[in-house]
Structure 1
Amino acid sequence: MPRPLAPTAAPAGSGTAHAERQARLSLWLGVAGVLMFAMTLPMTRLAVGPTGAPQLPPLFVTAGRAAGAGLLSLIYLWLCQAPLPLRRHLADYACCALGTVVGFPLGIALALREVPAMHAAVVTGILPLATAGMAALVLRQRASLGFWACAVLGCSLVLAFAAWEGHGRWVAADGWLLFAVLSAAGGYVAGARLSAERPAEQVISWVLVLSLPITLPLACWFWPTEAANTGAWIGFAYVTVFSMWLGFFAWYRALALGGTMRISQVQLLQPFFALLLAVPVLGESIKASTLGFALAVLAVVVIGKRLPTRQAIGVRP
C-alpha cells in the first residue's frame, strides 16, 4: 500500500506575493471607484443645472438617485440570495446611509446649483484627509508620520489649487460642499467596516435597500413639476447607476482590501479627474495649472501608498 504523501509546504515568499497582489488589486479597484465618482460632480451639475437655467430639483436628485439605485439593489440581492444584515451591523448601515445616501448627494446637489463643477471638485479634494482622519478616530488605525505628511501635503496642494483658481474667495456653497465631505468620510468608514465582513456589493446594496422606505416616498414627493432637458435626465441616470451604486462596488472592496487610511489617499486624484471630465461633459475650460497640480498630487499619492499603516490590536475592522 503506497505511503501517503507528506503535506507540501507553502513556497517561501508566497504570503508576500499574495499581499502584493492584494495591494495592487485594492489600488486598481480604488482608481476605478474614483473614476466613477469623479463623474458625479459634472453629471450632478448637468442634472440640477445652474441657477440661471435650473433643471431637476436638487432634493429630487438626492432622493431619486438613491431610490433608483435601491430598486436595482433589491433585484441584485434577490438574484444572489444575499443573507439579511446582522443586527449588530445596523448602526454601521445607518451611518453609511446618512453619509453616502443623504449627506454627500444633498450637499453637492445644493452646492452645484451655485458653483461650477470645477469649483466643487477642488473644494471636495479634502475628502481623503477627512476619510483618513475619520478612520483614525473610528477604526483606530495607526499610520507613520510619513503617511500623515503625505496626506497633509496632498490636501494642501488641493487647497492651494482651490485658492489659486478662486483668488482666495470662498462662497456660501462651499459650506454645503464641506458638509458633503464630512458626510462622505463618515459613510466611507462605516462602509469599510461592513465590507471587512460582508461582500462590498452586498454592503452598498443593503444600505440602499434599507433606505428605500425614506428615499422612495421623497423621490415621488419631489418629482419635478417642470420639464427638464435630456442632458439633465442623462446626468440623473448616471448618478443613480454609477455614483450611487456600481462605484461603491469597487470603492468599498478597495477600502476593505487595502485599508481605509491608505486607499482613501487615492481619492486625492478625484478632483482632477472631475476637472478633466467636466471639459467634455459641461464644456468648462481647463488650464495648464490644473495639470501641474494633478501631477504633483499623483506623486504624493504614489509615495503615500508605499508607507505603512496598521490597525490597533483588538479592534474590529
Structure 2
Amino acid sequence: MRAKSNVIVPAGVTLGALGVLGFSFSLPATRLAVAGLDPWFVAFGRALVAGVLAIAYLALSRAPLPTVTQLRRLVIVAAGIVVGFPLFTSLALTTQTSAHGAVVIAVLPMCTAVWAVVRAAERPPVAFWLASGAGLLAVLAFVATGGGLSGSLSLADAYLLIAVLLCGLGYAEGGALSRELGGARTICWALVVSLPATIPISLYTADFSRATPVVWLSFAYVALISMFLGFFAWYAGLAAGGVAKIGQIQLAQPVLTLMWSAVVLGEPVGWPALATAAVVVVCVVLTQRSRVPATTAVADPQPVR
C-alpha cells in the first residue's frame, strides 16, 4: 500500500496540469480571433461571455456573497486575469505570432512565484528556485534558438511583458483567495466584478464584419476554456498545492503552445521541442518535490469548497 501511494499524483498537480493544458491553446486561439475581431472585443467580449456563465454558476450553486475584504482581493484578480492578460496579449498578437508570444509568456511561472511571495506569504526553498529557473532557461533557450526572439523590444513585447506581470499577480492573488472561496467561485466572482467594464467596452468595440467561422470558434475557445472552465481547474490546483509550487507547472505551457502553433497555424517546430519538453518535465517534477513550508504557504488557509 505504501509503494502504491508514492506514485499517486497529488490533486493539486492534476488540476493544475488540466488548467495549463487548456491555457496552452489560448495564444493560438487569440491569434486566430484577432484576425477577424477587434482585439479589445476579443479581450473584453470573452470576459463578458464568461461573466454570464459565471452568474449562472453562482446562482445554481447558491454561492454566498463575498465579504468586503474578499471583494477588494477579487478586484486584483480581475485586473490581472480577466482584463490585463487578455487585453495585452490580444493587442500583442495583432502583430506577433503565438510562437513569439510563448517566448515572453515563459516567464509567467517565475512571475507567479514572485507574486506568491509578496501576496500569498509563500517562501519556496532554494531548490525550488533553482529548478524553476533551470526550466525557464531551457524554455527560453529553445524559443531563442528556434527563432522566437527578435533581438529587440517591440511594442508587442512590451504588451506581453505587461500581460505576464498582471497575470502573475492575478494567479497569486486568486490562488490564495481560492482557499477561502474555492477555485470555481473565485474566477466566477472575478468575472462578475469585471462586468461593469466588460459590458460597455464589448458593445463599443463589437464589429463582426470580418468574422469567419474559424474566428468565432477561436473566440468561443478563449471565452469558454481560457476565461472560464480552465480557471476552475487552475485555481483549484493553486489552492490545493500552493501558488508558487503549482504555478511552476506552467513552465510546460510555452512548449505546448508552440506545438499547437505548429499543428493549427502551420508554424514549424523541429526536434529541439521534444528535447526541451523533456527538460521542462524534469524541472517541473523537481519543483513538485521541493516542499513549500505549510506554515508559511498562505496566511489563515481554509479548505477549498
- Is the shorter-chain TM-score for this pair beyond 0.5, marking a shared fold? yes
Q: 3-state SS of the aligned residue for 2:123?
A: strand
**Residue 154 in 1 paired to residue 126 in 2?**
no
| d(CA) in 2 for partners of 1:157, 1:313 | 27
Match of 1:25 among 6, 11, 24: 11
Corresponding residue number in structure 2 for 1:312? 296
Match of 1:209 among 183, 192, 196: 192
Corresponding residue number in structure 2 for 1:200? 183
Match of 1:285 among 256, 259, 268: 268
TM-superposition CA deviations, 1:248-273 (whole Å, max 9, x none): 00000000000011101100000111
Gaps of 5+ in 2: none
Matches within 5 A, 1:1-317: 24-49=10-35, 55-166=36-147, 169-170=151-152, 171-224=154-207, 226-310=209-293, 311-312=295-296, 315-317=299-301
Post-superposition shift, 1:227? 2.5
Post-superposition shift, 1:139? 1.7
Question: How many residues were matched structurally?
Answer: 296
- Distance of aligned partners of 1:258 and 1:313 in 2 relative to their CA distance in 1, 3 Å threshold: closer
Note if contact 1:129-1:152 (Cα within 8 Å) is conserved in structure 2.
yes
- Paired letter, 1:235: S
Note if contact 1:122-1:161 (Cα within 8 Å) is conserved in structure 2.
no
Per mean C-alpha deviation after superposition, the further-off stretch among 77-86 and 225-234 is 225-234
- Paired letter, 1:272: V
| d(CA) in 2 for partners of 1:148, 1:25 | 22
TM-superposition CA deviations, 1:148-198 (whole Å, max 9, x none): 111111111222223222366133311111111111100011111210011
| d(CA) in 2 for partners of 1:172, 1:296 | 31
| d(CA) in 2 for partners of 1:216, 1:234 | 21
Note if contact 2:139-2:255 (Cα within 8 Å) is conserved in structure 1.
no
| d(CA) in 1 for partners of 2:296, 2:62 | 34
| d(CA) in 2 for partners of 1:314, 1:252 | 14
- Paired letter, 1:282: L
| d(CA) in 1 for partners of 2:298, 2:136 | 31
Corresponding residue number in structure 2 for 1:52? none
| d(CA) in 2 for partners of 1:313, 1:284 | 40
TM-superposition CA deviations, 1:273-297 (whole Å, max 9, x none): 1111122322222111122212111
Gaps of 5+ in 1: 1-12, 50-54
TM-superposition CA deviations, 1:210-257 (whole Å, max 9, x none): 211210111111001523111111110000000000000000000000
| d(CA) in 2 for partners of 1:144, 1:313 | 12
| d(CA) in 2 for partners of 1:66, 1:145 | 37
TM-superposition CA deviations, 1:112-143 (whole Å, max 9, x none): 11111111112201100000011012222112
Q: 3-state SS of the aligned residue for 1:141?
A: coil
Q: 3-state SS of the aligned residue for 2:146?
A: helix
Per mean C-alpha deviation after superposition, the further-off stretch among 271-280 and 243-252 is 271-280
- Distance of aligned partners of 1:20 and 1:80 in 2 relative to their CA distance in 1, 3 Å threshold: farther
- Distance of aligned partners of 1:297 and 1:190 in 2 relative to their CA distance in 1, 3 Å threshold: same
Task: Name the % identity.
Answer: 41
- Paired letter, 2:232: F
Post-superposition shift, 1:100? 0.3
Note if contact 2:37-2:215 (Cα within 8 Å) is conserved in structure 1.
yes
| d(CA) in 2 for partners of 1:48, 1:164 | 27
Q: Which protein is bigger by CA-based radius of gyration?
A: 1
- Paired letter, 1:24: P
Q: 3-state SS of the aligned residue for 1:309?
A: coil
Give me the CA root mean square deviation.
1.9
- Using the size of structure 1 for normalisation, the TM-score is 0.89
Note if contact 1:30-1:254 (Cα within 8 Å) is conserved in structure 2.
yes
- Distance of aligned partners of 1:168 and 1:57 in 2 relative to their CA distance in 1, 3 Å threshold: closer
